Amino acid sequence: MRNLLVHRYWEVDDFKVYSSVKENFRCVG
């Protein structure tokens, strides 16, 4: 159970990082 929660948390975190990176590239481009 704990591993599942940690995995889900990292998935969400990766998604947020990916979204912010895309936003930054759009601003720079």
pLDDT in tens, 1-29: 678 877 787 788 888 888 988 888 888 76
The pLDDT value given to residue 7: 75
The pLDDT value given to residue 29: 63
3-class SS of residue 7: helix
> What pTM, to 2 d.p., does this model score?
0.41
The pLDDT value given to residue 1: 65
The pLDDT value given to residue 6: 77
What burial class does residue 8 get, using C-beta atoms within 10 Å of its C-beta: 0-12 exposed, 13-18 middle, 19+ buried?
Answer: exposed
Compute the CA torsion angle 11, 15, 18, 6 (nearest 10 deg): -30
